Each structure stands twice: as C-alpha cells, then as structure tokens.
C-alpha cells in the first residue's frame, strides 16, 4: 500500500480544484494550442507544436500524480488537533531565539507544504523538531542553514 498523503480539509479542496481545472480548462487550452500549431505546417520543424506537446505531457503527468495522491489521502480531522502538543494540522507561534523574531507556522503533510505561506511539512527539519512539543518548550531544529533554536509560544487549531 502506498504511503498515506496527509491533508487538511483546505489541502484536499485545493487538490480537488486543481485536478478539476487540469482536466477541464487546461486540457482544452493545450488541445487548442496543438490545433493551432498543426496549422503552421511541417511538424518536424514546428517549435510551437513541440512546446504544446511538452506542455500536454507535463499536465497529463500532473493529473496522474494528483489522482494518485487523492487515492491515498488521509484527512486530518480538526477534532484530532489538540492544543497541548504540536501535531499535524496545528498552528504554532514560535520565537526564533537568535533573531528574537516571532513566526507562525501551520504544520501540514508534505503534499500541502508551502513555506512561503507559513505551511511547513511535518517531514521538514523544523516540522520534525516541533512535532510533539508543548508551549514553553525550546526546540532545536537542524536546518540546512545550521541549528535554529525556537521557543514554542502558542499552539492552536
């Protein structure tokens, strides 16, 4: 059996919307690009055609990937998210001790991770270090840039 894909309700909706868009809108757009490119003549020297076919292959690969993920989804139930310890689905406010900077992270499964938007994977160095910790704990994460020390300030759903 494949490894379960941990997703929050929002993450599941995002994947379902993505697959719907890929299958309906994006496929049609690419089919139209291929149709137009075929009209340019000789396909052996038609870069527009080659580009459209490459784009089509990427989209079809992504559709297969997302469908596979959706078959193996394990939904994170909001009722299972506590505020005593950090778990997947929890939102945590931490203090970066070195820079005296407060940060807020939502701990999510790797398929849903988006570090630029504060969603970090439970498999990332920071996510691994935070899982199971409680408010007041000091945590050392071994990140690629070196050791980062955090103090857990608040855990919420």
Domain with CATH 1.10.287.180 in the chain: 5-75
* Class level of CATH domain 5-75: mainly alpha
- Statement: residue 78 has pLDDT above 70: yes
- CATH number for the domain formed by residue range(s) 78-156: 3.10.50.30
**pTM (two decimals):** 0.77
- pLDDT per position as a tens digit, 101-144: 999 999 999 999 999 999 999 999 999 999 999 999 999 999 88
The confidence band for 44, taking pLDDT boundaries of 50, 70 and 90, is confident
User: Residue 39 corresponds to which tokens in the numbers above?
Assistant: 């009209």
Angle, helix 27-38 to helix 47-71, in steps of 10 degrees = 160
- pLDDT per position as a tens digit, 121-130: 999 999 999 9
Domain with CATH 3.10.50.30 in the chain: 78-156
The confidence band for 87, taking pLDDT boundaries of 50, 70 and 90, is very high
């Amino acid at each position: 059996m494949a490894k379960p894909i941990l997703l929050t309700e929002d993450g599941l909706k995002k994947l379902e919307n993505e697959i719907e868009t890929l299958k309906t809108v994006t496929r049609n757009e690419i089919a139209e690009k291929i149709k137009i490119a075929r009209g340019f003549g000789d396909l052996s020297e038609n870069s527009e055609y080659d580009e459209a076919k490459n784009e089509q292959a990427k989209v079809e690969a992504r559709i297969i990937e997302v469908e596979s993920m959706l078959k193996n989804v394990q939904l994170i139930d909001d009722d299972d998210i506590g505020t005593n310890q950090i778990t997947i689905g929890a939102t945590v406010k931490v203090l970066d001790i070195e820079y005296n900077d407060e940060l807020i992270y939502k701990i999510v499964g790797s398929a849903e991770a988006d570090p630029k938007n504060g969603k970090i994977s439970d498999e990332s160095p920071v996510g691994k270090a935070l899982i199971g910790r409680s408010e007041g704990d000091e945590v050392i994460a071994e990140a690629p840039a070196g050791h980062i020390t955090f103090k857990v300030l608040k855990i919420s759903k």
